[in-house]
C-alpha cells in the first residue's frame, strides 16, 4: 500500500517535470505557452457564461417548483410494476440536468437509506454510469458555436436512460 501512496504523491511532480523537460528539448517557451492557454481558457469561460447562468437558473427553478415531485407521483404506479424504486426517481430525473443537484440528491438518498442499502448502491451506480447530459451538451456546443443539438441530445438522453435502467437491473440482480 505504501508504494501506491508513493507513486500517487509522485504523479503530479513527475508530469510537470516531463512537460518542462519536453519543452526544454523542443525549445518551447513554457511561460508564454502557459499565458496563451490561460488567455484562451478565460475567453472560453466568457463565451459559455450565459449558458451556465441559464442552466443554473433552470435547475433552481425545477428543484424549487415541485415539478419533480409531480412527475414522480405520476410515474410511480407504472414504475412500481417494474420494481423500480420511486426513491431513486429524483436522482434519475435530475442527473441528466445538473451534476451538483444530483450529488445533493444522491447524498440525501444515502443519508436516508444508508450507503450499504440497495437504494444507496443504486444511487451510487447511477451516479457513476450516467452523465450530466444537458449541462455537458450546452457547455461544449456553445463553446464551439453549434446551435442544432437535436440528435446529440436524444442520443445522450437515451444513453442516460440505459445507464439508469441497467444500474437498477444489475443492483437488483446482485441484491446489494
Q: In whole numbers, what is the pLDDT of the chain averaged over residues?
A: 86
Number of domains the chain is built from:
1
Q: What's residue 142's pLDDT?
A: 77
pLDDT (mean) for 64-92:
84
Question: Domain limits at 164?
Answer: 2-174
Instruction: Give yes or no for residue 50 having a pLDDT over 90.
Output: no
Residue 26 has pLDDT above 90, yes or no: yes
- Mean pLDDT for 163-168 is 89
Q: Measured between alpha carbons, how far is 156 from 20 in angstroms, rounded to an integer?
A: 38
Q: Which residue has the cell 445507464?
A: 163
Statement: residue 25 has pLDDT above 70: yes
Beta-carbon contacts of residue 175 (< 8 Å; ≥ 6 apart): 118
Query: How many CB atoms are closer than 10 A to CB 170?
Result: 14
- Mean pLDDT (whole number) for 111-119: 90
DSSP 132: -
Amino acid at each position: 500500500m505504501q508504494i501506491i501512496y508513493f507513486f500517487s504523491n509522485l504523479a503530479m511532480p513527475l508530469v510537470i517535470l516531463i512537460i518542462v523537460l519536453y519543452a526544454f528539448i523542443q525549445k518551447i517557451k513554457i511561460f508564454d505557452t502557459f499565458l496563451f492557454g490561460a488567455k484562451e481558457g478565460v475567453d472560453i469561460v466568457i463565451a459559455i457564461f450565459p449558458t451556465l447562468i441559464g442552466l443554473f437558473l433552470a435547475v433552481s427553478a425545477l428543484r424549487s417548483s415541485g415539478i419533480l415531485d409531480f412527475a414522480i407521483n405520476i410515474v410511480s404506479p407504472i414504475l412500481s410494476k417494474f420494481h423500480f424504486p420511486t426513491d431513486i426517481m429524483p436522482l434519475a430525473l435530475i442527473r441528466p440536468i445538473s451534476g451538483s443537484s444530483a450529488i445533493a440528491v444522491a447524498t440525501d438518498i444515502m443519508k436516508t437509506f444508508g450507503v450499504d442499502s440497495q437504494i444507496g448502491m443504486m444511487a451510487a451506480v447511477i451516479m457513476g454510469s450516467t452523465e450530466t447530459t444537458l449541462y455537458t451538451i450546452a457547455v461544449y456546443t456553445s463553446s464551439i458555436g453549434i446551435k442544432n443539438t437535436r440528435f446529440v441530445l436524444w442520443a445522450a438522453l437515451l444513453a442516460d436512460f440505459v445507464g439508469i435502467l441497467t444500474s437498477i437491473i444489475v443492483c437488483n440482480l446482485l441484491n446489494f
